[in-house]
Structure 1
């Protein structure tokens, strides 16, 4: 793949996430789909204002939620420092975000602060704990929503990607399963930026990186998932994470999306199949399914994610990044970019990150 194509896919991943965040701002967290249809009609096809009395009240269509705010903060840190510098990221959180929070959910940039960020604020601000002792036990996707920018930056260096994403994730979420699933999503995203498609064969490529010692996942089986032989080391590959299953699951979702005997119709009902709640183990399968099914159709992917209700903002951020990486910035319909507040500035940042990622000689 040419450098120009790589840059296009890298910028598409970042902008897909920003678009997904802004799309979810209005109809966020409707668990009663009939209520969501009454408020927004049978099909939501763009940016919308949040309704009075609901999440993000007072925000306007096309603006970013706090997830988008933190993603932009992470992106700026990466672009301005040329690489992931944890001290710089933490300083920006201390200076740019935490002074705007008070520990309450319905407060802060974007009108709502998620569980893991509230917990990090309490430990950092109220208790005065150092970064590194700020991670809580939320089983949600907040870390994925920002570390996807790190994944794009290190898309050509999966080992450094895994290290940086792990370190950033534990600043707010300490559960090892959440960390492993976050790293796995970022590894998948990097493969898509490299030019791969989210298809059933993708886990095989990821498992090769495990066997080569690049990705820090535990593996017992030999190539092709064959059983260990007598005399093989026990285990042949020990990694930080107890299981490689988080790398395998995208392949099963891709298989379901391409199997003619399996059909979720309409596709937005993927939220009912995999679950509408916020936990990462509900969000990732739905995002993987939609990104595999609509790998070349950004609009269908994000709108089916959005119209599924529940935690549709996180689902659409994750789906938008995965599909944006496959279609590239050039494959994202202009109306989604035009309707995004500060869209031109965000595209410029995304392009700068893509340039850094494409440069093999970028600072380590």
Structure 2
């Protein structure tokens, strides 16, 4: 059911975030294995001298806390009201920041949020001018809530996600990739699997004007012929290529001639850094390869090191949507701080998604 899959996407993201808290940002895998062993199987406590030192296993990072801020806003408003979300950022988050990285709730403040803080608080800019140029996944992560909420309404989903993204990240390419990821996720909430055909489904929505991407190709990506008119733009994004990435990642996952073994080494194939163009292909690959196995998907995302928190969060949402809340092993919810309360919020979004 869509309720179960929407709740699964939300809880999958939160679990992924918390899994990455302890073992976050180890780019030297020997150091990761020294501190946590050869295979991490659950939540871990950060070492005192690491990014989230002082926090405990099962807690959320700042990205997770902002995610919950948006989640609570949607549940209380029974819709996405951007003014309510930004009010919470102004009143609940920014007073706890000082514009530096190693400060604030969650133990670390990401670049996009630091830049937004400086524009909003130090420079007193309106929210229409707060977005910076970070090429990371923070916006893609928190707007998972909106992908679950508006899964049945693709245009509203794309408009809401891109609008929320611009609050903190205004680069057009990053907004397009952020929106595309959540369009993919929404299709999984609707019952699709992350297979190569997912991009065909999305491109049909583009050609129907239900997703704001421009495309000149025809069926099977056939190019225009001489004399064909330039089609009207379906929306703000100049290229649909961000919608095609999951097609190729899923092809790699099922192609017997392509071997990534063990699967956590996908982080070495697509890159360990934070940028969204490293993160999304790895998340799509793992979500296609382990479409019915939440635990394997998030643990391979986690054990790949580098920016494993975002990788696990993005993968967790994609696979959580495919297996549903009912398909997520109970231990991940039981050992997550405030797991039962968060699960109830996730279920409420699932109910709202029926509208």
TM-score category, normalised to shorter length? over 0.9
Counterpart check, 1:137 vs 2:133: yes
Counterpart check, 1:307 vs 2:300: no
1:119 touches 1:172 (CA, 8 Å); kept in 2? yes
Counterpart check, 1:267 vs 2:263: yes
Among 120, 125, 130, the alignment partner of 1:124 is: 120
Q: TM-score, normalised by structure 1?
A: 0.96
Match of 2:235 in 1: 239
Among 345, 348, 351, the alignment partner of 1:352 is: 348
Among 66, 71, 75, the alignment partner of 1:75 is: 71
RMSD in angstroms over aligned alpha carbons?
0.8
Match of 1:23 in 2: 19
Could you tell me how far apart the structure 2 residues matched to 1:165 and 1:110 are? 23
Task: Write the mapping of 1:34-183 to structure 2, written as runs, cut at 5 A.
Answer: 34-183=30-179
Q: How far off its partner does 1:93 sit?
A: 0.3
Match of 1:289 in 2: 285
Deviation per CA, 1:172-192: give whole Å up to 9, x if none: 000000000000000000000
- Tell me whether 157-166 or 233-242 shows the greater mean CA deviation: 233-242
Deviation per CA, 1:211-246: give whole Å up to 9, x if none: 001111110112222222344321354431111010
1:20 touches 1:318 (CA, 8 Å); kept in 2? yes
Match of 1:6 in 2: 2
Q: Secondary structure at the match of 2:144?
A: helix
Number of corresponding residues: 355
Q: TM-score, normalised by structure 2?
A: 0.99
Match of 2:330 in 1: 334
Counterpart check, 1:225 vs 2:226: no
Match of 1:276 in 2: 272
Match of 1:324 in 2: 320
Could you tell me how far apart the structure 2 residues matched to 1:91 and 1:118 are? 17
Could you tell me how far apart the structure 2 residues matched to 1:314 and 1:38 are? 22
Q: How far off its partner does 1:137 sit?
A: 0.3
Could you tell me how far apart the structure 2 residues matched to 1:37 and 1:182 are? 32
Deviation per CA, 1:32-67: give whole Å up to 9, x if none: 000000000000000000001101100000000001
Deviation per CA, 1:66-102: give whole Å up to 9, x if none: 0110000000111111111111110000011000000
User: Where in structure 2 are there 5+ consecutive unaligned residues?
Assistant: none
Could you tell me how far apart the structure 1 residues matched to 2:126 and 2:174 are? 21
- Tell me whether 115-124 or 237-246 shows the greater mean CA deviation: 237-246
1:220 touches 1:236 (CA, 8 Å); kept in 2? no
What stretches of structure 1 move > 2 A for 4+ residues in a row? 229-233, 235-239
Match of 2:202 in 1: 206
Could you tell me how far apart the structure 2 residues matched to 1:110 and 1:224 are? 45
Could you tell me how far apart the structure 2 residues matched to 1:108 and 1:338 are? 26
